Homo-oligomer: A and B are copies of this chain.
Amino acid sequence: MQLETLTIVGVGLIGGSIGLAARRRGAARHILGVGWRAETLETARRLGAIDQGFLALAPAVSNADLVVFCTPVQIIAGQVLEAAHSCRPGALLTDAGSTKAALVAAIEAGLPGNVRFVGSHPLAGSEKRGPEHADPNLFQDRLTIVTPTSRTSPEALERTSTFWQALGSKVKQMTPADHDAALAFTSHLPHLLAAALAGALPDRLRELTATGYRDTTRIAAGDPTLWTGIFLQNREAVLAALDQLSSQLDSLRSVLAAGDERILHQLLEQAKRVRDALGS
């Protein structure tokens, strides 16, 4: 498939990478970008991520075959509903947000009947921001979750999956709720832990950190506004994941307090097995 016009709303690290990947792989003939700041749009254009930048949604989406929203999760639903009214009939809209249930529900409740929306979440990214960190291979061999519902047409689902595959990604279907419960554990919880660990570090101990501490807290450098939105949109699932982790920590605490060498070794060995299986 080649799209005639692809519009990317939000040309930061993810949006910029979508543009670069689509161009390199010939997935779209024209690539338009929407942003809040002319400077960011110009950077994205200069790097080849988009052909043309727009500061408003309507003119950028009016001719698009596909519009992908790469903005903070708390504003995606509003933008999709706003853009939908300027899209031509048959246009497909999707997103790259880290949470799905709340925004998919809000969008399905208000979407005009002549356009389609399918939620997406490419499991790729970085704690960095901006189109200058975009990477045309960001999605290569990574997994993108698409989240159809009972209201999703098979044809829209197929087009969404084909788009991500065209960028080099593998695709997996999950319900929005299953996605959010899973990502609460594999992505949002690690961020909360990293933030807790970094936030609790007294100044005088900074010089005593080494690679282990730095690896464990790396994602705490992520954008606070972006992550505040993610945590609030997925609050219940994140709280459940946190409680699950807290019981695991309580077990480790009891075993350590009891000085039980054998069980402590077993728990660390089990953790190592899981981590080794994930690769570097």
Known contacts A242-B253, A252-B196; is-contact A205 B220 (Cβ 8 Å) = no
Check A185–B205 contact: CB distance below 8 A. yes
Interface residues on A, range: 35 or more
Give CA–CA (A192, B124) in the complex, Å.
26
Chain B residues positioned under 8 Å from A244 (CB to CB): 200
For A253-280 the 0/1 string (1 means CB < 8 A from B) is: 1001101010011011111101111111
**Number of identical monomers bound together in the oligomeric complex:** 2
Which of B197, B207, B218, B267 touches A245 (beta carbons < 8 Å)?
B197
CB distance from A199 to the nearest CB of B (A): 4
Check A245–B208 contact: CB distance below 8 A. no
Interface stretch of the complex, out of A38-46, A53-61, A109-117, A230-238: A230-238
Interface stretch of the complex, out of A21-29, A154-162, A221-229: A221-229
User: Which residue of chain B has its CB nearest to the CB of A246?
Assistant: B249
Binding site of A, secondary structure by majority: helix, strand, loop or mixed?
helix
Check A201–B186 contact: CB distance below 8 A. yes
Q: Does A1 contact B (CB under 8 A)?
A: no
Check B224–A219 contact: CB distance below 8 A. no
Give CA–CA (A278, B127) in the complex, Å.
14
For A98-117 the 0/1 string (1 means CB < 8 A from B) is: 00000000000000000000
Complex A-B: 10 CB contacts under 8 Å: A193-B216, A199-B274, A200-B245, A206-B278, A213-B278, A216-B218, A217-B271, A220-B271, A224-B268, A246-B246
- Identify the A interface with B (CB < 8 A): 123-127, 142-143, 145, 172, 182-183, 185-187, 189-202, 205-225, 227-228, 231-232, 235, 238-239, 242, 244-246, 248-249, 252-253, 256-257, 259, 261, 264-265, 267-272, 274-280
